[in-house]
Chains A and B, each alone.
Chain A
Amino acid sequence: MIVELVNDLKNKNLEAEEYVERTYEKIGKYDKYTNAFITIRSKEEVLREVKENINKGGKLAGILIAIKDNISTKGIRTTCASKMLEDYIPPYDATVIEKLKKEGAVIVGKTNMDEFAMGSTTETSYFGPTRNPWNLERTPGGSSGGSGAALAAGYVELALGSDTGGSIRAPAAYNATFGLKPSYGTVSRFGLVAYANSLEQIGPMARNAEDLGLLFSIIAGPDDKDATTIDLSLNFEFKEQNVKNVRIGVLSDILEMSEKPVSGVIKDVIDKLSSEGALIEDTKLGNAEYALPAYYIIAMSEASSNLARYDGVRYGYSKYMEGNWREVYAKNRGEAFGIEVKRRILLGSFILSAGYYEEFYLKALKVRNLLKKSLDELFKKYDILVSPTMPILPPKIGEVINDPVRMYAMDLNTVIANLAAIPALSLPAGFYNDLPIGLQLMGKYLSDIYLINISSYIERNVTKLYNLTAPIKI
């Protein structure tokens, strides 16, 4: 637990040297296999900062944290796992980074991800795929796969990810860790490299519910630099929330669309919740099969607009300069973007072009409204909704990457929360053939703390799965 780690460092029960050495030793030994990091900072520099920060104090005084590589970190390169930004060094910190630094956290490195957060397996990275520490032949999920793997491998206790359609929860599920996609507007996106603004949020990832809550309490809050943040009325009181008499809706339509081994493990957890006194009822989201196409239409439309800024003139890959501006941009962009990014920009341009805007984009926004309304109705009857986080087990490296429609289908259960702006949390539910399976909890808008408190009870009393470290088998 972070609270204990902070105290140990402060009271010198754990020396800063030993803490930093231990971390770098693990990373040195295993990251050549897991490839969780794109950039690792120098040990000397990190040790110096840890020592300084222990003295300064704060909720995370001296604690090492891993940051997804699409969050701007002043002076530390931020690549978005793309050739386009391979050597980009931000001249400023994202708001979440400022907040972490204020509490004494020290960035150990920047984690691998799908290029520009576009993918569900961390295989579209220009820097090569991340491998799942639980099984190196498998993907760690994506797009925050590096952060998920860094937690599962035990390199760090805390990490930040970003979630546009499940990018925090997929790696949380596949790495047997905890991840929260916060309610939209609770965490500033200033300094997050934009992909799909109306869907994405930065969020906390951790190895147990308590640490997840602590990290969330630090990064949440209104920000003058981000007009989409809200004035919070969250009560950051973390305590186990007993599930007795909690009204739980099981999304049976989503459960039925999941693989047998996955739904089996989830049904076991639901049975245990029931014997703990939770009020369980099967229910349906309705129109669930339309959520995925609607999500991808919206995400790609926003992506095509956001990624227009990469022209190789102000920053970014800039090999070509000969010819007129159209030729220069097209050549640089053609050479520096990976295939998934190109696919999404092209499709986004198509969807937003004359004649197709009404046909696709507007209709997708209408589906978004329908889904939000169904959820509003469901939350009148239930305190939380549960489902598997991912519909399938972690795929093998190379298994889904060449079939985009199959890869997109992995996000079936997670995109709903992004479309509707509600919070969703993934926690470890169990294992099948030693492969982790995650349980997803969704709650009404701004019920983030409630979800964390429920997951705290589940990890202690129901699944007893927390602080897990993968036995990396080389």
Chain B
Amino acid sequence: MKIEVNENLIKHLENLSLIQLSQNEEKMLENNIANIIKFFEKINELDLSNVEPLFHPLPQGRLRKDTPRDPLDRENALKNVKRKENGYIVGPRTYGE
């Protein structure tokens, strides 16, 4: 699969990642990303058709009883929040232009 790394792809990735880049960064990353993808494509040399993917090195996790525990109190939990009102976090608009 030929992947063309151009301005459009970078814009698309900015959008997916929710990261606004400066023009300089866009240019630099266009170049870097093309090189890194070339480096990734090395794995295509291998025939992997009969190999299972290994998602996680441990087959299963430890589970504990689903019993409630004391969480952080509200004041501590919200300590690092920049904008808050009456114990709630103030977020950005989620609708409109």
Residues of A within 8 A of B (CB): 88-89, 91-92, 184-185, 198, 222, 224, 226-231, 287, 289-290, 292-294, 296-297, 304, 308, 311-316, 318, 321, 323-331, 333-335, 337, 339, 342-343, 345-347, 349-351, 353, 356, 359-360, 362-370, 372, 404-405, 408, 419-421
Min Cβ gap A66→B in Å is 23
Partner of B54, one of A226, A327, A369: A369
* Bound CA–CA A351/B93 (angstroms): 29
Min Cβ gap A98→B in Å is 15
* Bound CA–CA A337/B19 (angstroms): 9
Closest to B54 in A: A369
* Bound CA–CA A370/B47 (angstroms): 11
Cβ-based interface call for B44 (8 A) = yes
When the two chains form their complex, are residues A227 and B51 in contact, meaning their CB atoms are under 8 A apart? no
> How many residues on the B side are at the interface (Cβ–Cβ under 8 A)?
58
Known: A314-B81, A315-B81, A328-B92. A346 touches B14 (CB 8 A): yes
Hey, which chain A residues are within 8 Å of B13, CB to CB?
Answer: 346, 349-350
When the two chains form their complex, are residues A329 and B18 in contact, meaning their CB atoms are under 8 A apart? yes
When the two chains form their complex, are residues B51 and A342 in contact, meaning their CB atoms are under 8 A apart? no
| 14 residue pairs bridging A and B, Cβ less than 8 Å apart | A184-B58, A229-B62, A293-B41, A304-B17, A315-B80, A316-B80, A330-B14, A333-B18, A337-B19, A345-B17, A349-B17, A350-B13, A405-B35, A405-B36
Q: A227-B64, A315-B82, A324-B92 known; 8 other A-B pairs, CB under 8 Å?
A: A226-B62, A293-B43, A297-B40, A334-B19, A346-B14, A346-B19, A347-B37, A370-B51
Mark each residue of chain B from 25 to 43: 1 if its CB lies under 8 Å from any CB of chain A, else 0.
1001100110111011111
Secondary structure at the A interface, as helix, strand, loop or mixed, is: helix
Partner of A324, one of B3, B17, B35, B95: B95
Partner of B80, one of A89, A311, A365: A89
When the two chains form their complex, are residues B36 and A404 in contact, meaning their CB atoms are under 8 A apart? yes
Partner of A323, one of B22, B77, B92: B92
Min Cβ gap B94→A in Å is 5
When the two chains form their complex, are residues B76 and A91 in contact, meaning their CB atoms are under 8 A apart? yes
Partner of B42, one of A230, A293, A356: A293
* Bound CA–CA A297/B54 (angstroms): 13
When the two chains form their complex, are residues A345 and B19 in contact, meaning their CB atoms are under 8 A apart? yes
Which of B14, B63, B95 lies at the interface centre, i.e. has the most chain A CB atoms within 10 A of its CB? B14
* Bound CA–CA A369/B43 (angstroms): 13
Min Cβ gap B18→A in Å is 4
Hey, which chain A residues are within 8 Å of B81, CB to CB?
Answer: 313-315
When the two chains form their complex, are residues A323 and B33 in contact, meaning their CB atoms are under 8 A apart? no
When the two chains form their complex, are residues A227 and B48 in contact, meaning their CB atoms are under 8 A apart? no
Q: In the complex, which residues 51-82 of chain B have their Cβ closer than 8 Å to any Cβ of chain A?
A: 51-58, 61-64, 72, 76-77, 79-82
Hey, which chain A residues are within 8 Å of B77, CB to CB?
Answer: 91
Known: A297-B40, A325-B94. A184 touches B57 (CB 8 A): yes
When the two chains form their complex, are residues A312 and B82 in contact, meaning their CB atoms are under 8 A apart? yes
When the two chains form their complex, are residues B39 and A293 in contact, meaning their CB atoms are under 8 A apart? yes
* Bound CA–CA A412/B45 (angstroms): 18
Closest to B72 in A: A91
Hey, which chain B residues are within 8 Å of A333, CB to CB?
Answer: 17-20
When the two chains form their complex, are residues A343 and B29 in contact, meaning their CB atoms are under 8 A apart? yes
Min Cβ gap A9→B in Å is 33
When the two chains form their complex, are residues A321 and B92 in contact, meaning their CB atoms are under 8 A apart? yes
* Bound CA–CA A229/B44 (angstroms): 33
When the two chains form their complex, are residues B76 and A346 in contact, meaning their CB atoms are under 8 A apart? no
When the two chains form their complex, are residues B52 and A366 in contact, meaning their CB atoms are under 8 A apart? yes
When the two chains form their complex, are residues A369 and B51 in contact, meaning their CB atoms are under 8 A apart? yes
Nearest 9 CB-CB pairs, A to B?
A421-B57, A365-B53, A334-B20, A227-B61, A369-B54, A315-B80, A328-B92, A318-B82, A91-B76
Closest to B10 in A: A346
Partner of B36, one of A185, A324, A347: A347
